[in-house]
Amino acid sequence: MSTADAKDAVRLAGPPRRAGLATVALMAVTIAWGTTYVMSKALVDVMPVSSFLFWRFAIATLALIVLAPRAVLRLSGRDLRRALLVGAALAAGFGLQSFGLQLTTATSSGFVTGMFVVLTPLVAGVLFGDRIPARAWLGIALAVVGLAALSLDGLSLSRGDALTLAGALGFAVQIAALARWSTSSTAVGMATVQMGTVAAVSLVVSAFAGGVVTPPESSAWLSLAFLGVVASAVAFAVQSWSQAHMSATKGAVIIATETMWAAVAGVTIAHDPITARLVTGSVLLLGAMAVVQFPASGLLIGRRPARRLAVP
């Protein structure tokens, strides 16, 4: 290993305290995403999906530019190209998931979207040559069973499920690429470019669907502002920073608990009943996170590999 590679390996591994903080931060983001599902669903019911995504991510882009006006300017040409690729993957994930949801049930969509927990290590292996330890696969298996317990009611698949699975692949690429390319110094800039890319793609889709539709009432604007600033601008900036300090597999398993937090929000906010499936699925997802967080030998699953893919 060259001196430069050795320094890069030390930087990526980081101190254990920072790795622990990254785990807590990403979990906080996942909780926020899960608990805002009801808000997002209410907005989609009163406006087209593409318009909803445009306003949400346009607000997020503007918020990040105001909060960190020079973050994008500090990105190198290579980091900017990488951020655009990650943003395109995120846009594909949201778009395909949203269109798939129109052709399938919400419960099925939740499970199929959660399959990014399986696709992420596969993507990381194919694109970046990452090796996935056996314990990581155990965590992935627990997460899949937990997602099934929370989301599935039967095994039928539809065309909407196929679109949603393609969207899950987009999310997997975004998670794997962030784990490989994001750093503490580029996290906010990369998040800004991601938000802008999703907003731009949504604007194009809206143009083909008759134009951007504005929210019908002031309460919808307030919801969009919250989703744009907190659940998007802040959340994706924190995700970009957190995944600079952990492996793609660990990040995917943590983010997969979003389904659990959505169910918890349903119980506490919408007063949904507490069922055996909810308890079982939640326990399995938390078990999956524990497996990848506390592997038998150190933090092998929790740290990113030092080797980086050269992208022009």
Q: Which two tokens stand for residue 258?
A: 């979003």
Low-confidence ranges of the chain (pLDDT < 50): 1-13, 296-312
CB 115 within 8 A of CB 165: yes
Could you tell me which of 110, 212, 128 has the C-alpha nearest to residue 167?
110
Per-residue model confidence (pLDDT) at position 281: 73
CB 113 within 8 A of CB 167: yes
Per-residue model confidence (pLDDT) at position 153: 59
Which pLDDT tens digit goes with each residue over 147-156?
777 666 555 5
Per-residue model confidence (pLDDT) at position 201: 96
Buried/exposed 180-195: b ≥16 CB within 10 Å, e otherwise: bbbeeebbbbbbbbbb
Could you tell me which of 238, 247, 221, 175 has the C-alpha nearest to residue 59?
221
Residue 44 in 3-state DSSP? helix
Per-residue model confidence (pLDDT) at position 255: 85
Which pLDDT tens digit goes with each residue over 181-203?
999 999 999 999 999 999 999 99
Per-residue model confidence (pLDDT) at position 151: 62
Per-residue model confidence (pLDDT) at position 83: 96
Residue 298 in 3-state DSSP? coil
Residue 134: φ, ψ to 5°: -60, -40
Could you tell me which of 63, 48, 4, 18 has the C-alpha nearest to residue 202?
48
**Distance in angstroms (rounded) separating the CA atoms of residues 306 and 312:** 18
**Distance in angstroms (rounded) separating the CA atoms of residues 279 and 282:** 5
**Distance in angstroms (rounded) separating the CA atoms of residues 138 and 227:** 34
CB 237 within 8 A of CB 188: yes
Please tell me the number of Cα atoms within 13 Å of 223 on its side-chain side.
Answer: 21
Q: What is the DSSP secondary-structure string of 40-54? A: HHHHHTTS-HHHHHH
Per-residue model confidence (pLDDT) at position 225: 95
CB 228 within 8 A of CB 55: yes
Count the neighbouring beta carbons within 10 Å of the beta carbon of residue 275: 13
pTM of the predicted protein model: 0.77
Residue 15: φ, ψ to 5°: -70, 150
How many residues are recorded in the chain? Answer: 312
Per-residue model confidence (pLDDT) at position 237: 94
Per-residue model confidence (pLDDT) at position 57: 97
